[in-house]
Amino acid sequence: MPTSPVTPSQGWGVVHLFFHIRRELLEDATTAAKDFVARLQAFDARDDYQVLAFSVLGQKADLGLMLLGPDLAELDQLSTELVASPLGAGLLPAASYVSLTELSEYTSTSDDESRRLVDEEGLAEGSPEHAAGVATFDERMAGYAQHRLHPRLPHRKVISFYPMSKRRSGADNWYALDFADRKRLMAGHARVGRGYRGRVLQLITGSVGLDDWEWGVTLLADDPKAIRDIVYDMRFDEVSARYGEFGPFVTGLVLEPADLLHHLGLL
Ligand code: 76R
């Protein structure tokens, strides 16, 4: 019996999987690799489902997969199928991470924009210019929300993944701050982030109650230095400097599945 769908009421599921490969455990590596590639391609070809495949730099793992899509049962199905597939005999789990796409509660709202148009642009509330400004903002944010909840990630050469949480200790307890303070602090964070528009694409996925940290951070860039730069810059921003706690970082080279298996010497 197929597993019944498990679709979050908002957002999609995201599973990051990391494996070591032991090719000596494979009987027919080429056939196994071709089968593996076909399974990834079939998953990625489905509407709303995506898999990013990457070769992990360093020795934390050999290969990584980032699976995204609306139904957690489908993500789990692919994970179990891959392990049960011919290549699975040579795949050793190295790490994994489970999260959901989410909207941030700190994103600017229509009211924020309405106030900004009055305070910073000098537009009178109720004027046609003011109404047009708010409408433009709403349209842009609807597209933005769509990208955050239902992303189709572009291919960039490098992927960086790490989990993180907000500190909850002594005087530095993020969750004891008022919403207004958290929102002000997050606005500073977003300002630093916007300086990297075009160079770094980020997908922040929520994992409170789902995995060991509070968020999964996935960064994509063509220039590995851009990843080092953004994380470094953010360390000086109060949100990261004072409240950020970070798990292990993994860096990978994003490849088409067939190119990845070739790169790993299996095709
Ligand atoms: O609403 C929005 O998404 C825009 C403002 C914004 C929010 C609310 C934003 C912008 N982020 C938000 C939330 Mn972010 N982000 C990280 C990291 O390495 C570190 O120090 C932290 C890891 C990076 C690199 C990054 C990049 N962000 C969050 C949250 C959720 C917080 C919560 O809900 O409490 C986390 C954990 C987080 C972490 N952020 C941006 C970026 C970039 C590049 C931007 C600008 C995006 C753009 O406007 O194009």
Catalytic residue among 49, 97, 162, 196: 162
- The answer to whether 144 is a known catalytic residue is no
Q: What is the pLDDT of residue 119?
A: 96
Q: What is the pLDDT of residue 2?
A: 67
Q: Which residues pair with 37 in a beta bridge?
A: none
Q: What is the pLDDT of residue 159?
A: 98
CB 150 within 8 A of CB 48: yes
pTM: 0.95
Q: What is the pLDDT of residue 182?
A: 98
Q: How far is the CA of 131 from the centre of ligand 1 (A)?
A: 28
Going along the chain, which residue ranges are E strands? 13-21, 50-56, 63-69, 91-101, 158-166, 168-169, 172-173, 201-206, 215-221, 244-246, 250-255
Taking only the tens place, the pLDDT of each residue in 10-68 is 999 999 999 999 999 999 999 999 999 999 999 999 999 999 999 999 999 999 999 99
pLDDT for residue 1 is more than 70: no
CA 234, CA 191: separation in Å to the nearest integer?
Answer: 10
The domains found in the chain, sorted by start residue, are 13-102 (3.30.70.1030)
Q: How far is the CA of 190 from the centre of ligand 1 (A)?
A: 6
Q: What share of the chain is helix, strand, coil (3-state, %, to 5)?
A: 45, 25, 30
Maximum pairwise Cα distance, the chain = 73
- When the pLDDT of each residue in the chain is averaged and rounded to a whole number, the result is 97
Portion of the chain with pLDDT greater than 70, in percent: 99
C-alpha 129 chain-centroid distance: 36
C-alpha 179 chain-centroid distance: 24
pLDDT classification of 166: cutoffs 50, 70, 90? very high
